Amino acid sequence: QVELQESGPGLVRPSETLSLTCAVSNYSISSGYYWGWIRQPPGKGLEWIGSFYHSGSTYYNPSLKSRVTISVDTSKNQFSLRLSSVTAADTAVYYCARAPLYCSGDSCYPGPVHYWGQGTLVTVSS
Amino acid sequence: QSALTQPRSVSGSPGQSVTISCTGTSSDVGGYDYVSWYQQHPGKAPKLMIYDVSKRPSGVPDRFSGSKSGNTASLTISGLQAEDEADYYCCSYAGRYTFVVFGGGTKLNVL
Residue B38 pLDDT more than 90? yes
Alpha helices (H) in chain A, listed in sequence order = none
Give the minimum alpha-carbon distance from A111 to chain B in angstroms, rounded to a whole number.
Answer: 8
Residues of B in contact with A95 (CB under 8 A): 45-46
What pLDDT does residue A32 have?
A: 85
Q: What is the mean pLDDT of residues B20-33?
A: 94
For residue B100, the chain A residues in CB contact (below 8 A) are 48, 59, 109-110
Over residues A82-104, mean pLDDT = 94
CA gap B8, A75 in Å, rounded:
44
Report how far residue A52's alpha carbon sits from residue A71's, in angstroms, rounded to the nearest whole number.
Answer: 9
Q: What is the mean pLDDT of chain B?
A: 94
Burial-class residue B105 by CB neighbours within 10 Å (0-12, 13-18, 19+): buried
Given a cut of 70, is residue B60 above it in pLDDT?
Answer: yes
Candidates A46, A85, A48, A26; CA nearest to B100 is A48
Query: Distance between CA atoms of B89 and A48, rounded to whole angstroms?
Result: 13
Strands (E), A41-100: 47-53, 58-60, 68-73, 78-83, 92-99
> Three-state SS for A31?
helix
pLDDT tens digits along B66-104: 999 999 999 999 999 999 999 999 999 888 777 889 999
pLDDT for B110: 96
Confidence at A104, pLDDT banded by 50, 70, 90? confident
pLDDT band for A23, please (50, 70, 90 cuts). Answer: very high
Nearest to B91 by CA among A114, A4, A88: A114
Nearest-CA distance from A62 to chain B in Å? 7
The pLDDT value recorded for residue B1 is 62
The more confident residue out of A92 and B95 is: A92
Give A109's pLDDT tier (boundaries 50, 70, 90): confident
For chains A and B, what is the number of CB pairs under 8 angstroms?
A: 61
Range A56-78 average pLDDT: 90
Which residues of chain A does B73 touch, with a Cβ-Cβ cutoff of 8 Å? none
CB pair distance less than 8 Å for B46 and A46: yes
